[in-house]
Each structure stands twice: as C-alpha cells, then as structure tokens.
Structure 1
Amino acid sequence: MHGWIILDKPLGLGSTQGVSAVKRALRACGYGPKLRDLPKVGHGGTLDPLATGVLPIAVGEATKLAGRMLDSDKVYDFTIRFGVETDTLDLEGRAVAESDVRPARAAIAEILPRFTGPIDQVPPAYSALKVDGARAYDLARQGNDVTLATRPVTIHALTLGATDGESATFTASVSKGTYIRSLARDIARALGSVGHVTMLRRIKAGPFTLDSAISLDKLDESAKAQALEHCLLPLRAGLDDIPALPLEPGQAEALRQGKVLTGTAAHDGHYFALEGDTPVALVVVSDGTVRVVRGFNL
C-alpha cells in the first residue's frame, strides 16, 4: 500500500497519534500482523494538539515525499481573542498579560498589510524548536526563560473574517516555518492590545485540502470493513503541482538503477517520472539531463 491518507485531525490529538491511528487501521486490514511488517507511515507536517484539520499521513513509498510536504505552504483559519496573552499563546496557557483594548474591525483590517508578505517572526517559547539540544517547550515548562531567534517567514495572504468585539477570525496562507500563534500575538500587540489563539484549523497543506480529509471514525469504519484502500489517495496526489514526465521502459529501468538520462526535451525543473501509470521517481531536469531526486520501489 502506497499513497496518502488525509486525516481531519480532531482537537486534542497529536500528529504522532494520528500516525499511530493509521498504523492500527493498517493492522486491522491485515497489513503486517507484526509491527515490522507494516508499510512505513509518517506525517507530512506537525499539527498542534489544540489545532484541527488537514494532517497528511504518508504510507509506504509516499513517506519519501513527506519531507517535501513539510516544506509546502499551508492555509489556516484562526481566531484571536483580545485582552489576554498566555504563555503558550493559546487556550492551554496561563495569562501573562492583559489589556482593556478591544480593537474595532476597521482598525484590524487596516493593519493587515503590515503582516502580509515577507516578515520577521519570533517563534513561541512553547514550540518544538531546539535550544542547546533541548525542546523549547520542555525548557519553558521547567520555568526557564526561552528566547528564540527571529526568523523570516512569508504570509502570502491574510484576510479578516467575522468579528464580535472580543474576537476576530482570520484566514492565512503561509510559508513553511510560520507560527500562527506568533502571528496572532503580533497582530494583537500591533493593535495596542494583547491576545491569544482560541481556534486554529488547518484547511490546506500543500495540495491537500479538507475536501479529501477523513475523520478518525471514517478511518476506523473503513478498516473494519477491510476497505482502507478507499481512503487512500495515490502517491501522485502529493505531487499535483509537478508535471509528469512519461518514460519509455528502457528509460525507466535506467532511472531505477540510478543512472542519468540525457537528451530530454523537457524544460528545466522538477518532474514526476512515470512508466505508464507506475511512478518511477521524482526527478530534476537541467539542460536536457534527468537525475533522480527520490526513487520509488513500485
């Protein structure tokens, strides 16, 4: 079994728990009665337990593309509640700052261009980033002062949704490495207030959206019905933004052996090399030369 299972991750579930749920479903369908016999399974981008939404789970040869998924853009819906900033910048933390300021909708809309495009961002102290070999969230939970370096990120688009005087909801399309909790903190502070995230939902990760996502209940039902394949998107689905490169059998075999192809008429760039309908490799073309980036054993 090779491809993608896109979970609509529920509140409170960690990304590694999502991977475990897929492994259990695979075992229930008879894939590998022993753990070592299971197909490889991995997730394509961590999603906080307090967040919901799109969590791509790679199965089999798709795990070779999980790293590429980590580098992809993401889209989130999120809500900021103004007036209280917490140490975790979300509902889970304790209050560390308060403000009586509740910004008007017009004021919120006016500052959004300041947070669109390339920006510098300080990640939350409660994050998985490492400081001297230790996770930042572990140090923060131990009561240590955690100072993380500013990092460049890109906010491709930021739009304002509903507001109610206390809270405001946004949709943000962001580059890899962007922390929505930090974005919420900085928006609130720029408005002369403070705030924290009360709702965070990932609605897109790379090419995957909620349209192709399934609930844990649906995953379990499919496993019990021995129909897990119906939940599986093809390996190709993780590369929908890359054009296909059709191969002749001899060319496909050469790439499987790690050889370089020459004389291709394709433009420079990345391609998904196929022999018929069978994925062969993710390749890069440069000056008519084709080289393997990731080969698939299918």
Structure 2
Amino acid sequence: MKNGIINVYKEKGYTSHDVVAKLRGILKQKKIGHTGTLDPDAEGVLPVCLGKGTKLCSLLTDKRKTYEAVLHLGIETDTQDISGKILKECPVEVTPSEVEACMAGFLGEQQQIPPMYSALKVQGKKLYELAREGIEIERQPRPVTFYEIKILSMELPFVRFSVTCSKGTYIRTLCHDIGEKLGCMGCMESLLRTQVERFSIEDSLKLSQIEALVQEEKIDEKIVSVEEMFSSYPAYLAQPQFDKMLQNGNPVPCKQNTLQERVRMYTSSGIFIGIYEWNASKQQYKPLTIFCTPQDFQ
C-alpha cells in the first residue's frame, strides 16, 4: 500500500470524487482521500492522501490556496459561473481603474455567503441538490480571508486574476460579488488552482501520467511521505525504555532543557510514530496524530 500525498492535476470534467475513484483503480488500494473539492469545471492542484496519509486530509483542507480565475463581467448566472443559467445581462461601462479599486476592496477578512450550487450540507442535504429542485434557502455568511488579489490581465468584460485565500472560500462567489459591487454583475469564466500548501501546479500529475509511472514502477518518487510533510518539526528519538509506550500510543516523559512545542516522534530504532505535542504541566510529549501501525513493528 502507498502512503503519503500525491499531487494530482485535476482535469476539467472530473469531480474530485472521480479522481479518487480512478486512483483507487490505478494504485489498486482503497484507502485514498482528497483534500478539498474542486468543481467539475475547475482544473489544477488536488493533493490526494494515500494510506496513512489520509489522516492529513483535514490538515490540508485547512491550508490557504492560490487560484487563477477569469471574471466575466456583465453576466449573472444561477451557479455564479459561466456553466449556469443566465439570469441577467448588463452593459459593462466600468473603467479598468474602477475594477482595480473594487477588487482591492475585497482584500483581508470578508463575510461571504456560500452559493446555492455548493456541496455544503443543510439538514443533511447538499445545497446543490436543493438548488436542482428549484429550492433556494437562506445561507448564513461565513468568514473568509483574501490574502492577495492580483490582476494579471484585463480586456473588459474579462479580468484574469490570481487570488490566495483561506479555506472555505468560493471564487465563483468572489466573482459574483465583484460584479455586484461594480453594478454590472459578473460570473466566473474559468478556474485553475495553482497552489495548496507545498503542492504547486508545476509538480502536479495528470491521471494518465500517474498510470504510466505505476507501470514503470516509478510512482514512489512522486509521493511525498508523511514525515516529509512535517519536515519543519524537529525529529525526536525516544530512549529505548519508552519504545513500548510509543507502540501503545502513550505519552512519553521528557526532562530535556531544549524542548520544542511539536516534534516528529521516533522510537529508539528510528521507527516514525507520529506528531507529538509538549505538555508542560506533565513534563511529557503527548500524541497529536499517530501514523504508525502494528505492521511497522514487525
């Protein structure tokens, strides 16, 4: 079984679930999970967790992400992107400087209302399922943060821009909100995710490339190990008398002077256990996330 993270380039037309299903067939293993949904029409970076790496899914979902998008001014659709039903068309009479000023106003912390065509659940039902039934319900605004919004090119009514944002942000909704604020409406023409944490589009692999690497037995070179994901944390090699405690998932006492808040914990023989956090009141490292399995000790 493969363990770690693989940087997949999700192609247009695939859902994130499709990518996971196809990878299960290519890698011949069931334990696979993705790290945040990309719309079927969107493309780009989709880190996929394999084996022990599936414990990292929520961690990567929380990371900031970078996108390249094209805003199409003058059109409002029910899905907030160009694939939806057109609800309104307006003349685009704004100037480039007005567009720049408007988009700059979205920097920082914002309140964003999730679109009806989204996978968010309300009372056990996904919003897009309700939307397809013609039902629209009130959605509460959610806090999101735009760390950077940079215009790459502008040929009105089209504006191509890059945006780095927090988790749970809808770029479709950003496009809609910009158009609404400009008074001419707007929707998203296209979306490309270029970065999630350390995973960039330059290093991403299409499913066909992954399949070829599996056949060539070179796929391991492209999988980022769980240990590597936490390379910023120092390694801590436990003393031999604590090995059994680590195998059982217990905290480990420590009396060193130079302590780190979080460490990569290893047994005395170098078996990676997981990420441990310092508990000052008890003078011990306690497990935060354990990645080892009984098979690692055989």
Q: TM-score, normalised by structure 1?
A: 0.89
* Consecutive unaligned residues in structure 2, runs of 5 or more: none
Quick one: distance in 1 between partners of 2:228 and 2:43?
A: 22
Preserved contact between residue 74 and residue 204 of structure 1 (Cα < 8 Å): yes
Whether the 8 Å contact between 2:176 and 2:187 is mirrored in structure 1 is yes
User: Partner of 1:115: helix, strand, or coil?
Assistant: coil
Using the TM superposition, name which of 65-74 and 267-276 deviates more. 267-276
Identify the residue that residue 219 of structure 2 maps to in structure 1: 228
Structure 2 residue 243 is the aligned partner of structure 1 residue 248: no
Question: In the alignment, which residue of structure 2 is the partner of 1:145?
Answer: 136
Q: Does 1:192 align with 2:193?
A: no
Computed over aligned residues only, the root mean square deviation of the Cα atoms, in angstroms, reads 1.9
Q: Which is further off, 82-91 or 206-215?
A: 206-215
Structure 1 residue 55: deviation in Å? 0.5
Which position in structure 2 is the counterpart of 1:134? 125
Residue 39 of structure 1, CA deviation: 5.3
The answer to whether residue 254 in structure 2 is matched with residue 259 in structure 1 is: no
- Give the structure 1 partner of residue 263 of structure 2: 271
Q: How many residues align?
A: 287
Percent of aligned pairs with the same residue?
28
CA distance in structure 2 between the partners assigned to 1:265 and 1:86 by the alignment: 61
Aligned partner of 1:32 in structure 2 is none
- Offset of residue 228 of structure 1: 2.3
**Residues 242-251 or 61-70, more deviating:** 242-251
Instruction: Decide which moves more: 112-121 or 6-15.
Output: 112-121
Partner of 2:41: 50
Tell me what 2:290 maps to. Answer: 295
5+ long unaligned stretches in structure 1: 28-37
CA contact (8 A) 1:88 1:124 kept: yes
The offset of 1:77, in angstroms, is 0.8
For 1:68-217, what aligned pairs fall within 5 Å after superposition? 68-217=59-208
Larger deviation, residues 260-269 vs 123-132 = 260-269
Q: 1:270 to 1:49 in 2, by over 3 A?
A: farther
Deviation at 1:100, TM superposition (A): 0.5
Which 10-residue stretch deviates more, 105-114 or 162-171?
Answer: 105-114
Higher mean alpha-carbon deviation, 125-134 vs 287-296, is at: 287-296
Alpha-carbon distance between aligned partners in 2 of 1:264 and 1:214, rounded to the nearest angstrom: 43
Question: Displacement of 1:235 after TM fit?
Answer: 1.7
